[in-house]
Structure 1
Amino acid sequence: MNIFQKFLKSLYSPMYIGRFRFQGIGKTIGYVFFLMLITSIPVSVLFTNTIFSTANKVENALSEEIPDFQLQNGQLHSEQKEPQIYEHENETIVFDASGEITREDIEQEENTTALLREEVVIAEDGTIQTFRYDQAGNIQLSKDDILTFADTLSGLFPILIPVVLLLLYLFSTGLKFIGIFALTLFGLLIRKAAPIRLTYRQIWIICAYTVTLPTVISALIDVLPFQLPFAFTLYWAIAFFMLYNVYKKLPKPKNAAVSE
């Protein structure tokens, strides 16, 4: 059975997961890396599209809509004294060097990026992120400087994005091994539910395949346009349920023949 077949069987069959307990540790570790590679594809595609889309929107807004400005002494300066609001598809861009609009005003909005007098405020899907200009030190930048930097950064995306995705993949895979270890501890606690004796090695291998279904579901949840509450709890509930069913599907030992 190749690794793709193991992946498919692990999605729905506790019986097959139980059979994998005789597999080597090396192959199981390789399977975990394969699982994380497969499940990272949707998030990687979404991440890449978001980066390119956001970069294009920012460059277009800076070059075509936002008036000339300068960042000096931690403040935004512009000849435009009135707040400017630009609607772009489902997003809103606010430019205000006057100080009339505050962060509290932006917190009530959705999908809004605001360049305010002393900070940048981003409101997206109920999450607020802020960055004060003085956090970057006593810098002096103009609109043209930022456009030049943005253009240079966009040219580096083909190099930077794969590096970031690789680091995220390795980090998430490391977390997955920690999760498998935690599930293994649970497997040891309920070891008596299995009809046969299981070693720690066999339980770890079973757990590595047991997390297939909850990992796939979590990967799909991550690309939803909204946040699903209790996603963490759902992951572990599915993992515990699958592991318990794997134990129940293990073959019962044959009764020894009774000598007459």
Structure 2
Amino acid sequence: MFNLARKAFIALMATAGLAAPALAADYIPPVEELPPPPVVESVDFGGWYIRGDIGYHKSKFRGADYITYGVDPCAPCGPEPVPGSNSFDFGKMKGAFSLGGGVGYQVNQYFRTDLTVDYWFKSKFNGQTSDLTSVSVDTSSATTLLLLANAYADLGTWHGITPYVGAGIGGAHVKWDNLRNTIDGVDTFHKGSKNWRFAYALMAGASYCLTNNVILDAGYRFSHIDGGRMFELNGAGPGFDKGFNTHEVRGGLRYQFGNSGCAEPQAVAYEPEPIYTK
């Protein structure tokens, strides 16, 4: 009886030993899947913006000519007026402040356009004219309304700072006050003229992100304004200035309605689906 039980136990153990490798071969441990990396949210770039600027400008007066009338004793019908041309000996314009605004569109991260209007406050003018017998001191002042269509190349953004270059083309409405002509303490006034003229500008500067929508802009602008009529006839005249080259420093704010690119893209949290294993 004892021998029979011992033989049965040995047979059972042998069977279990043979079955264990087979069960081990059939067992595949579950594979743990790692969650994917965070997904970066994609946001459309660009959109409309508005801007406001304040500046200080100084214009280089490029000279002026005027007409004088004398008497031609050799005229067939007796003495009569004859025109002649004279030029200002010199002319200088003082600096003045400006205010401006505009609306624009950020096309992409590197290109934007806008339409701007700037009002240049009164800039005082001092000049001199002379002939063989007298010297005249001439004073006046001018205000300008500058309208430009502009395009800019943004050169990339580093730590919220974006340098840029740009160019603009448009027109300027120049309004001259009356010209005061003083000779030996005697004043003569010539009515000032106002007219539209061709203008263009070149810009360079940098912008800084205050928030994702508010951008500080500071830069330099060179503007060229063509010549035009300066004052009307009063004994002498009319007079024509040869235009201005203006150097201007400006600062202002832009409000971007769309994505300005100031804020870094945000990572979206990813919750993987639960994995069930048997």
TM-score clears 0.5: no
TM-score (norm 2): 0.20
TM-score (norm 1): 0.21
Structure with the higher helix share, 1 or 2:
1
Structure with the higher strand share, 1 or 2:
2
Higher RCO (Cα < 8 Å, 6 or more apart): 1
The higher radius of gyration belongs to 2
